[in-house]
Copies of this chain bind each other. A is one copy, B any other.
Amino acid sequence: MKSTMQEGSLLIKDILRHGREVHRTSTVTTITEDGSTTATFTEVADRVDRLAAALARLGVGIDDRVGTFCWNNQTHLEAYLAVPSMGAILHTLNIRLFPEQLAYVINHAEDKVIIVDASLVPLLARVRAELTTVETIIVAGAADTSALGATLDYETLLAAEQPGYAYPDLDEGDAAAMCYTSGTTGNPKGVVYSHRSTYLHSMAQLSSSSVGLSERDRILIIVPMFHANAWGTPYSGWMSGTSMVMPQQYLQGEHLLRIIETTKPTLSCGVPTIWNDLLRAAEGIEVDLSSLRAVTAGGSAVPRSLLEAFDERFGVPLVQGWGMTETSPLATFGLPPVGIEDDEIMSYRVKAGRVVPGVEVRVVADDGTVLPNDGTSVGEFEIRGPWVTGSYYKDSDPTKFHDGWLRTGDVGSLDQLGYMTISDRTKDVIKSGGEWISSVELEGEIMAHPEIFEAAVIAVPDDRWDERPLACLVPRPGMTPSPQAVLDFLAPRVVKWWLPERFCYLEQIPKTSVGKFDKKVLRASFEKGELEVIEVAIPHSR
């Protein structure tokens, strides 16, 4: 029996409408070299209409791909709202891709138009000659565009149009946006979000069980809009009237401190390395981050030491979430459960978050058996739900799916209350003497050492144990912690057989285009003999 309910679709144009009609006075602030610019949602929405009209005049229609090559700023938000609302498909381009990958994703997605920030014109120019489908490049801001050939000026295009675009009715299953994963092997793979998935994901972010965005918030969006849609915050923020602060390229700790102190956000979101850098920048100076009710971190595990440092230094709770480009990305959020003692709270905060309503996560053994959510059974996480991808664009890649679930490539356990503990990426696991050592946990403990800035642990071959951990250390400036000092520090914190006997010192941990530790690069360096490995003797107990 069918219900009597109305049959309308969940569309991004309705997100646009709600923000413009109900939250007119909310604002979008873009940080500039010498200050900031601010526009109300009404002003932004009118420009969104003008952008849609301009794109339509350029021949952009249903399903045409419009790429963006932009920092986090108002222009980028306008594209986020205009392109899917008009039935075209937003393709956010990661400005940190290698040129050959950038050309690959633009050609693979068949982008017809690209909107580029003036400051990024030189980066895009490097691949212009390789682009086979791009007909029009629109430049936002003043730049020498000669290296791009013919271009159009964003503001000139908008000035020629009027507010009041008639957005089409679409099916909620239609493509709205696409984002390529920063594949660590092979070519990047495209995830295509639907209007439905974006709408539902936005609703999930408004939930008090997760980020709980509302008009009472102002969010400093640090995570790039070219990476997993800035975790969906531009859409959920617009839907809920959350004011937004867009930092553009001003992402160093010193910049962010100044931005927080002057724009007084209530929330912010970024990868752990950003928060680590903020702490570094705040060393020895007075800072006031009291406007923040929380900051959220995702993309990599957050070491306990970083959580504690944020508590102690700033009085700001750092909350972990977990997700992937393939999951829109919100899948877990790390609010602690109710009804526990104060001294138990940290034991939940160090986990990778609690499964949010709408998605389903399970732990699966190597042989495909589903394991219990008992907090101890370890296997690969698989996930499904209405904002989780079921394939890749023009590439079904069946190895990434299992009975309709996405295989996440993360390994760990789920406890009885839906909290995820990630011990490793499947490709980063260290199997020592038949037992797993969690590189993620070991890194977290090493990074708690006061003289260590960052640390990554990779598996290296070992004659006796098959694999053993190699600890790659980045000391804080001026510090020189010895392997023995690190081992003394670790001894009471991890089981004895986890203690690494191999160390190397680096100036920085190599990072992927989205700021994660790039262990693939570390492993390659090790294999080529490029790392200076120091071995120390530890009497193993097994």
CA distance in complex: A216, B208 (Å): 9
A10 within 8 A of B: yes
Of A141-149, A173-181, A444-452, which stretch is located at the interface? A173-181
Asked whether, in the complex, the Cβ of A3 is within 8 Å of the Cβ of B208, the reply is: no
Q: Which residue of B lies closest to A63 (CB)?
A: B1
Q: Which residue of B lies closest to A395 (CB)?
A: B4
Asked whether, in the complex, the Cβ of A5 is within 8 Å of the Cβ of B194, the reply is: yes
Asked whether, in the complex, the Cβ of A4 is within 8 Å of the Cβ of B392, the reply is: yes
A398 within 8 A of B: no
Asked whether, in the complex, the Cβ of B208 is within 8 Å of the Cβ of A354, the reply is: no
A2 within 8 A of B: yes
A183 within 8 A of B: no
A193 surroundings in chain B (CB, below 8 A): 3, 5
Q: Which residue of B lies closest to A213 (CB)?
A: B208
A355 within 8 A of B: yes
Chain A interface, number of residues (Cβ within 8 angstroms) = 72
Q: Which residue of B lies closest to A326 (CB)?
A: B4
What's the least CB distance linking A424 to chain B, in Å?
Answer: 23
Asked whether, in the complex, the Cβ of A418 is within 8 Å of the Cβ of B209, the reply is: no
Number of copies: 2
A357 within 8 A of B: yes
A155 within 8 A of B: no
| Chain B CB within 10 Å, residue with most, of A63, A239, A417 | A417
| Chain B CB within 10 Å, residue with most, of A14, A204, A338 | A338
A129 within 8 A of B: no
A416 surroundings in chain B (CB, below 8 A): 24
CA distance in complex: A14, B175 (Å): 25
A206 surroundings in chain B (CB, below 8 A): 206-209, 357
Asked whether, in the complex, the Cβ of A391 is within 8 Å of the Cβ of B4, the reply is: yes
A389 within 8 A of B: yes
Q: Which residue of B lies closest to A212 (CB)?
A: B208
Of A221-229, A380-388, A469-477, A504-512, which stretch is located at the interface? A380-388
What's the least CB distance linking A192 to chain B, in Å?
Answer: 4
Q: What 1/0 mask marks residues of chain A from 31 to 44 whose CB sits below 8 Å from any chain B CB?
A: 00000000000000
A240 within 8 A of B: yes
A344 surroundings in chain B (CB, below 8 A): none
Segment 192-248 of A: residues with Cβ below 8 Å from B: 192-194, 196-197, 200, 202-204, 206-209, 212-216, 239-241
Asked whether, in the complex, the Cβ of A8 is within 8 Å of the Cβ of B385, the reply is: yes
On whether A209 and B215 interact (CB within 8 A), knowing A2-B175, A3-B173, A3-B197, the answer reads yes
Asked whether, in the complex, the Cβ of A2 is within 8 Å of the Cβ of B357, the reply is: no
A208 surroundings in chain B (CB, below 8 A): 206-208, 212-214, 216, 240
From B1, B18, B209, B386, contact of A5 by CB (8 A): B386
What's the least CB distance linking A110 to chain B, in Å?
Answer: 10
Q: What 1/0 mask marks residues of chain A from 395 to 407 whose CB sits below 8 Å from any chain B CB?
A: 0000000001010
Q: What 1/0 mask marks residues of chain A from 16 to 59 whose CB sits below 8 Å from any chain B CB?
A: 01100111110000000000000000000000000000000000
A89 within 8 A of B: yes
Asked whether, in the complex, the Cβ of B215 is within 8 Å of the Cβ of A21, the reply is: no
From B24, B207, B385, contact of A240 by CB (8 A): B207
Listed A/B pairs (14) with beta-carbon separation below 8 Å: A3-B175, A3-B176, A3-B196, A4-B390, A4-B391, A5-B196, A6-B389, A7-B390, A18-B357, A18-B360, A22-B354, A206-B208, A212-B212, A239-B357
* Given A4-B190, A6-B385, A208-B216, 12 extra CB contacts under 8 A: A2-B192, A3-B174, A4-B391, A5-B173, A5-B193, A6-B406, A7-B390, A18-B357, A203-B357, A206-B207, A207-B208, A208-B240
